[in-house]
Amino acid sequence: MKTYGFDRKMKIYTAGPISGQSYDQVMKRYRDQVSSLMSIGYDVICPMTGKEYLRTELEFKAHGYDKHPVSTNRAIKKRDRWMVGKVDIVLADFTECNGIVSIGTCMEIAWADELRKHTIVIMEEGNIHQHCFIIECADIIFPNMKEAYQYLQNLSMGINLNED
């Protein structure tokens, strides 16, 4: 089967709520996402890369991790913005926010929009993040990850040139 699509493997950044959640909750979500996205052909960049030293966190705070250079307020913001700049697609999953606004993810969506990245948001109806800025910065909004993964799989496959 001959297909036409992208000339290289696309890179995707996974974004989502961290504050108010445990290390285990956050890492389970990111591990599941990374595994699923790699299986459909993406190189994946995740904001928790290299942060295993946080594994004892029972509930992430929004700021104040000054004991480790990678987790200072400045380092988190600068590294996440750099990561968004390195990818083709930003995938922001708000489905597990537990009613807490994810300011970091909102920033990542704004950077993605400014950098003209393909921005995909996952949020169900009534999600606390349903705001005009998020809605307008998103290229596509899906109500669940299953639909987002199907779209991303189709996108990575290109089109079949053999069909009529």
The domain spanning residue 28 has which CATH number?
3.40.50.450
> Residue 164 falls within a domain, yes or no?
no
Q: Which residues of 56-74 are buried (b: 16+ CB within 10 A; e: fewer)?
A: ebeebeeeebeeeeebeee
> Residue 70 falls within a domain, yes or no?
yes
> Residue 161 falls within a domain, yes or no?
no
> Residue 163 falls within a domain, yes or no?
no
> Residue 20 falls within a domain, yes or no?
yes
pLDDT, mean over the chain: 90
Over range 43-65, report the average pLDDT. Answer: 81
pLDDT band of 8, cuts 50, 70, 90 = confident
> Residue 152 falls within a domain, yes or no?
yes
Q: Which domain holds residue 109?
A: 3-156
Report the predicted TM-score, pTM, of the whole model to 2 decimal places: 0.90
The predicted structure's pLDDT at residue 56? 75
Task: Look at the chain and report how many structural domains it folds into.
Answer: 1
CB proximity list for 89: less than 8 A, separation 6 or greater: 10, 11, 12, 13, 42, 117, 118, 119, 120, 152
pLDDT band of 134, cuts 50, 70, 90 = very high
> Residue 105 falls within a domain, yes or no?
yes
